[in-house]
Structure 1
Amino acid sequence: MLLQIDLQSEVPIYTQLVHNIIEGIARKELLPGEALPSVRSMAADLGINLHTVNKAYNILKQDGFVQVNRKQGAVIHPASFPLADEQYQLRLQEQMRPLIAEAICRGMSSEQFKVISEQIYSQFSIGEEKEDG
Structure 2
Amino acid sequence: MLLQIDLQAEEPIYTQIMHQIIEGIAKKELKPGDDLPSVRSLASDIGINFHTVNKAYQLLKQEGFILIHRQKGVVIHPDGVEKATEVFYEKLRRKVRPLIAESISRSVSKTEWDTICATIYEEIEPEEEQ
Report TM bin, short chain: over 0.9
- Displaced runs of 4+ in structure 1, greater than 6 A? none
Indicate the residue corresponding to 1:23 in structure 2: 23
- Whether the 8 Å CA contact 1:63–1:82 is kept in 2: the answer is no
**Structure 1 residues 22-101: aligned runs within 5 Å:** 22-101=22-101
TM-score (norm 1): 0.92
CA contact under 8 A between 1:42 and 1:53: conserved in structure 2? yes
1:112 corresponds to which residue?
Answer: 112
1:129 CA displacement: 2.8
Using the alignment, how far apart are the partners of 2:127 and 2:3 within structure 1?
18
Output the CA distance in 1 between the equivalents of 2:80 and 2:5.
27
Answer with 14-23 or 2-11: which moved more.
2-11
SS at match of 1:68: strand
Paired residues of 2:26 and 2:126 also in contact (CA < 8 A)? no
Structure 2 letter corresponding to 1:93: R
Deviation at residue 123 of structure 1 after TM alignment: 1.3
Task: Find out whether 1:2 has 2:6 as its counterpart.
Answer: no
- Structure 2: tracts of 5 or more residues without a match: none
% same residue? 55
Change (3 A) 1:76 1:119: same
Q: Which amino acid aligns with 2:22?
A: I
1:84 to partner: Cα distance: 1.1
What's the Cα RMSD here? 1.2
Count of residue pairs the alignment pairs up: 130
2:125 is paired with a residue of what secondary structure? helix
- How far apart in 2 are the matches of 1:101 and 1:80? 33
Q: TM-score, normalised to structure 2's length?
A: 0.94
3-state SS of 1:84 partner: coil
For 1:29, the aligned partner's letter is E
Once residues 48 and 127 of structure 2 are traced to their aligned partners in structure 1, the CA distance between those partners, rounded to angstroms, is 30
Quick one: distance in 2 between partners of 1:104 and 1:54?
A: 37
- Displacement of 1:127 in angstroms is 3.7
Structure 1: gaps spanning 5 or more residues: none
